[in-house]
Structure 1
């Protein structure tokens, strides 16, 4: 089979078998296509069954030399190609796997930025509550911090996903996977005030009737708009940190772990497939970890 046909089938596999999001699938297809386009550019007759490890290494060296591809991008691209060949092997298209023994470049360990409780309070305190947008934005920030959900999950949050009597909201995460996340009193309070006093005055656009957070025109907010709201508040209090909606998710997880929450429970609330992803939050606060060992290790207690 030709590269284009194989890549198309790979995309269908990621969608139907792996239940990946459209954005993730597009990224995988784009990265694998870079390999096939490189071979086409060089008029190579190599196909998926005849490609060698040396060919792949030459391709990676070419990208690095010509485009100075960042280490993280190299690792992501190699991961996509490995997934492509795992698919070809699993479906018996070929037994060839030229990337099986190629190691991804080492990525620098980067811990996510977080906010402390005082900084979060300052950001929320800077909101102008005399406006519709302000009251809505306060509810938004309380949900982001109080539930730790992704910004994509927030903008797509629906009215029928609010189970306040039970203390949960239902969100649709990556790969259209559904999960229930606890929601605290303050977040419920602000969302309820917004729904009863502000959103009710809006006329949702067709198809947006069930969306919780709307703009003045009755349409759901975009990810960019949430980012802008947070950036403006950051500037208003001269925060001095480069933050985004995801910072609230990181802060939620960090504060939960620091408070003694079970790591598996935090993993479930965040919607992480692997506990390894959640474990990064155990490394965020060195002072906290030092205090833990001081308090509980028998050889260190005085």
Structure 2
């Protein structure tokens, strides 16, 4: 078995067995390809079923010199998963990554926007242009429902349950969840849907996607990034933001206003509460307020 065949089989496994998105599969594949490139550079002819611990250790040691600890940790994790797959399929008896430690990294706190900054971004949208109503509905949905960009571009008209105030979202691993949607958010989607989208030359197989480009096709991830970056430049926002920033802001603002962490976890579609707990570190002032309001000894006499 050569490297390219092993990677192809692993990609099929990640897609069929694990149900991962194409984007996630591509990222895993790129990390394995880094190891393959290293072997080529070192003129090492070691196949995936025979590569030993010393070789992968040297690879990790060398790559640590050129990437940050977070990237290094991701590569180690990706390679461990790949070799675990080979062990599972009986191609190997052991995982050469087993004794390789992942570098300790601090949990990166997500960037957020204030409500005022979000309002400024939305106000900067030119509603005189045909795509203006669409872009307003996009930003309102990213912030109002806390969606990932992949979830937004794959949102379908058949996923809108406005009578019940919910939308059905397909997240990582094709896992579906219902997310509540506010009346304001529904209003802006409906305006775009009924007044703008109906006039587009919608292409076959794109009829059910909510957000379309001018040619009547599903929007791309890159287009959403372009919209957000353009608005940030338009208002002179001194922050490096992306569509994901609206998701972080959604969670942070809910927490700051007293929402239950478990409820936020469900809305975000996090498998583990640990992932959601990162938002507990965003605003420590909020935690102090919670203690003062709810702890039984908040008003102890001195």
Q: 1:2 to 1:260 in 2, by over 3 A?
A: same
After the TM superposition, which residues 76-115 of structure 1 pair with which residues of structure 2 at under 5 Å, given as runs? 76-115=74-113
The structural deviation recorded for 1:50 is 4.3
Once the two structures are superposed, the pairs formed by residues 143-182 of structure 1 within 5 Å of their partners are 143-182=141-180
Match of 2:44 in 1: 44
- How far apart, in 1, do the equivalents of 2:256 and 2:176 lie? 26
Query: Normalising by structure 1, what TM-score?
Result: 0.91
User: Which range moved further: 255-264 or 44-53?
Assistant: 44-53
User: Aligned to 1:179, what secondary structure does the other structure show?
Assistant: strand
1:208-219 equivalence runs, <5 A: 208-219=206-217
Structure 1 residue 153, shift from structure 2 partner: 1.4
Q: CA RMSD in A?
A: 2.0
Specify whether residues 94 and 189 from structure 1 end up closer, same or farther in structure 2 by C-alpha distance, changes over 3 A only.
same
| Structure 2 residue 69 is matched with structure 1 residue 75 | no
Among candidates 256, 259, 279, match of residue 257 of structure 2: 259
Gaps of 5+ in 1: none
What is the rounded CA distance, in whole Å, between the counterparts of 2:221 and 2:36 in structure 1? 33
Provide TM-score, normalisation by structure 2.
Answer: 0.91
5+ residue gaps, structure 2: none
Query: 1:288 Cα shift?
Result: 0.5
Structure 2 equivalent of residue 243 of structure 1: 241
Pairing of 1:267-282 with structure 2 (within 5 A): 267-282=265-280
1:169–1:299 CA distance, 2 compared to 1 (3 A): same
Q: Distance in 1 between matches of 2:183 and 2:156?
A: 19
8 A contact 1:48–1:96 mirrored in 2: no
The 8 Å contact of residues 162 and 170 in structure 1, kept in 2 or not, is answered as yes
After TM superposition, give the deviation of residue 77 of structure 1 in Å. Answer: 1.1
Figure out how many residues of one structure are paired with residues of the other and give that number: 300
Quick one: distance in 2 between partners of 1:46 and 1:301? 68
Q: Deviations over 1:173-222 (max 9, x none)?
A: 22222222111110001111111212112221222222212222222222
Deviation of 1:19 (Å): 1.0
> What are the equivalent positions in structure 2 for 1:197-208 lying under 5 Å apart?
197-208=195-206
Partner residue in 2 for 1:25: 25
